[in-house]
Chain A
Amino acid sequence: MSQEITVTPIQQVTREPSWVRWLLIGLGVGWFVLLLLLPLATIFVQAFKQGLTVFFAAISEPDALKALGLTALVTLLSVPLNLVFGVSAAWAIARFRFPGRQLLITLIDLPFSVSPVVAGLMFVLLFGSRGWFGPWLSEHDIKIIFSTPGIILATTFITLPFVVRELLPQMEARGSEEEEAAMVLGASGLQMFWRVTLPSIRWSLMYGLLLSTARAVGEFGAVSVVSGHIRGQTNTLPLHIEILYNEYQTSAAFAVATLLALFGIFTLLGETLLARLRGPAGH
């Protein structure tokens, strides 16, 4: 009696049957189109619905330009602040061991888990007219809430963890041998930083900067609480979109939204490029 032996190649037994594969791809791609691609597409369709004139009028109107200027100012101040903090905190945490180190990391993560509205409220309770420092501030005629400084503070709080969070894993993974060698060979602290540390963390640093910039430009909840929505004065671009939308100027709202959407798309392309540049060691 002879027995037939069938040999199945290993690729076949460690892969799903092709109907399962196509079903999963169909479900995944379908979900992606429904939840991500359609909303993205609709921004551009809605923006041009009433023609180019309405579109260009909406993005060149004085209030829109002022909102754009304020968004740029806030981003250009809050992102560098967190950059300096991020590098310094990552250096202390990744290169030294000290009691309370883990607690410090948790503290840095906090702004990620606090609701933006709660974050905004914290600053209102500190600097608002009825907040802790409110009476003192009004005595000295300093305005923080319902004004630009409040928006900068809230945005800085929200974007605080991004740079540290990108730098820490990379610096931990790389170790400190090269930096120690530089010091032993007689480099000064600054020389070591510029020639050894910075080149090794540059792509992660850029990645963190990109993420914090995107968040700073688009922050809505926290800024909404501290801004007071004064048109042409304390409106950032996202707040300006909200106002237009609530006034039923839908096309204008979407026209301004396309600017932010384009910025978002560039962020994604930048992320992809940087992820490739820093290689698999980055994460």
Chain B
Amino acid sequence: MRFRSYSVLPGFGPTLGFSLLYLGLMVLLPISALVLYSITHLSAAEFWQVVSEPRVVASFKLSFLASLAAALINSLFGLILAWILVRYEFPGRRLIDTLIDLPFAMPTAVSGIALCAIFANNGWIGKLLAPWGIELAYNPIGIVIALTFIGLPFVVRTLQPVLKESERELEEAAASLGANRLQTFVRVIWPGLVPALLTGFALAFARAIGEYGSVIFIAGNLPMVSEIAPLMIMSHLEEYDYAGASAIAVVMLAFSFALLLLINKLQAWSWQRIGGVRA
């Protein structure tokens, strides 16, 4: 088999060579450094001891559940936002469409202190709920709020193109065959949205699992209660326990790999559904 088919276009060798070198140095080398560090500095038993320590397990659980909750909330409100942005005309529509990406454009530390200022007990929103004994910051609820903030654009931006390209004729056909609007939505529109919604959900979830900057201010960081997994890496590092930090990081890395593969599959499925071509 030839390595590549003949083409008149130049530059295959140099561009591929440079890209491989760059990726090797910037991505593969650091990742191998991490994995090898935990293998050579820890025995299997020591590795297990680090990652099964109650405080670490609690942080894994919290990161997982809070990310799941945030991604679910985002799926619901992201669907509503994508729907009204594509299908309806209302004042402020273009402003919202522009600002949806705010969580991407804003540095996470800035978002973190801003969310804290609003949802803490003396903040604009926190103040309203404090009299009922509901606290939104410095506990797991605060973490879910921050993760919801950071994940919102993923769901909206994955759904928007799918909604734009969906065929309105199908809806008209359903209506002319006697379906009411709800039936049309459930039977005709919804099946077309599912792959994109799942992709958006998975993207928001993956981002939330690793998120640090926007969470750390509002979390309160109480051991066993509101410590997220990335923070446990930080606290091991602060004690110069590189090996311990690397063990937790390897677990997170493996989880990220699995999610990345899942997202690739979902995206391919999603593009297939709307008949597009994927890069």
Contact = CB atoms under 8 A, between A and B. Distances in A.
For the residues of A in contact with B, the DSSP-based class is helix
A267 B181 contact: no
Contacts of A99: 1, 3
B219 to A, nearest CB: 13
For the residues of B in contact with A, the DSSP-based class is helix
B135 to A, nearest CB: 17
A253 B112 CA distance: 12
Interface residues of B, number: 101
A109 to B, nearest CB: 6
A283 B274 CA distance: 14
Given A38-B124, A91-B11, A24 B83 contact: yes
Contacts of B22: 85, 88-89
A43 B31 CA distance: 37
A241 B26 contact: no
B246 A88 contact: no
B28 A107 contact: yes
A221 B209 CA distance: 13
Contacts of A16: 181
A115 B107 contact: no
A116 B210 contact: yes
Contact of A257 (B29, B37, B114, B230): B114
Interface in A86-102: 88-89, 91-99
Interface in A148-200: 153, 156-157, 160, 168-169, 172-173, 176, 179-180, 183-184, 189, 192
Which of A40, A94, A113, A214 is packed against the most chain B CB atoms within 10 Å?
A: A113
Given A35-B149, A220-B213, A28 B77 contact: yes
A109 B212 contact: no
Interface string B87-100: 01010100011111
A183 B256 contact: no
Given A31-B77, A125-B34, A14 B168 contact: yes
Which of B14, B90, B231 is packed against the most chain A CB atoms within 10 Å?
A: B90
A180 B9 contact: yes
Interface in B1-46: 1, 3-5, 7-12, 14-16, 18-20, 22-23, 26-31, 33-34, 36-37
A238 B40 CA distance: 34
Contacts of B27: 107-108, 110-111, 157, 160
A277 interface: no
Nearest to B106: A264
Contacts of B186: none
5 contacts: A29-B90, A92-B11, A115-B209, A218-B106, A220-B108
Interface of B: 1, 3-5, 7-12, 14-16, 18-20, 22-23, 26-31, 33-34, 36-37, 77, 80-81, 83-85, 88, 90, 92, 96-111, 113-115, 117-118, 123-125, 148-149, 152, 161, 168, 171-172, 175-176, 181, 184, 206, 209-213, 217, 229-231, 233-234, 237, 240, 242, 245-246, 249, 252-253, 256-257, 259-261, 263-264, 277, 279
Nearest 4 CB-CB pairings of A with B: A218-B107, A115-B210, A220-B213, A221-B212
Given A91-B11, A95-B9, A157-B26, 12 more contacts: A35-B149, A43-B110, A88-B19, A99-B3, A117-B212, A121-B249, A125-B34, A160-B26, A176-B7, A218-B109, A241-B109, A250-B117
